[in-house]
Amino acid sequence: MVRSAATLGRSGVHDFVLLRASALVLASYLIFLVGYLVCTPQLTFDVWQGLFAGTAMKVYTLLALLSLLIHGWIGLWQVLTDYVKPVGLRAFLQLTVNLVLLAYLSAGVVILWGV
């Protein structure tokens, strides 16, 4: 069996499960936010800030950010492995994608928790 340090999972099945689980979390987060926007008659900064002030929403948003990291990491690794054949270019693109995803996660943690 071929193993790669670039994947998050231990195997193809593990990657498959991680992709599906992260997609479910991202879909539920999107549905929640769209539902909140539709059901809130007067959306102001104070209302929006109040939504994200609660610990449950912060944890849910952090879970969505982690899911975005996992989904992007595995998904783009698979796409780059399939379509970018030069090893050096693929390694550079994977490093770039991974750094951007980690920057998104870091920015999200700082914005949410004020760390």
Known binding positions for heme: 71
Q: Alpha-carbon distance 96 to 72, whole Å? A: 12
Question: What residue numbers does the annotated binding site for a ubiquinone cover?
Answer: 83
Instruction: Say if CB 77 and CB 93 are below 8 A apart.
Output: no
Q: Alpha-carbon distance 84 to 79, whole Å? A: 8
The b-or-e profile of 63-100 (16+ CB within 10 A means b, else e) is ebbebbbbbbbbbbbeebeeeeeeeeebeebbeebbee
Instruction: Say if CB 77 and CB 9 are below 8 A apart.
Output: no
Question: What residue numbers does the annotated binding site cover?
Answer: 71, 83
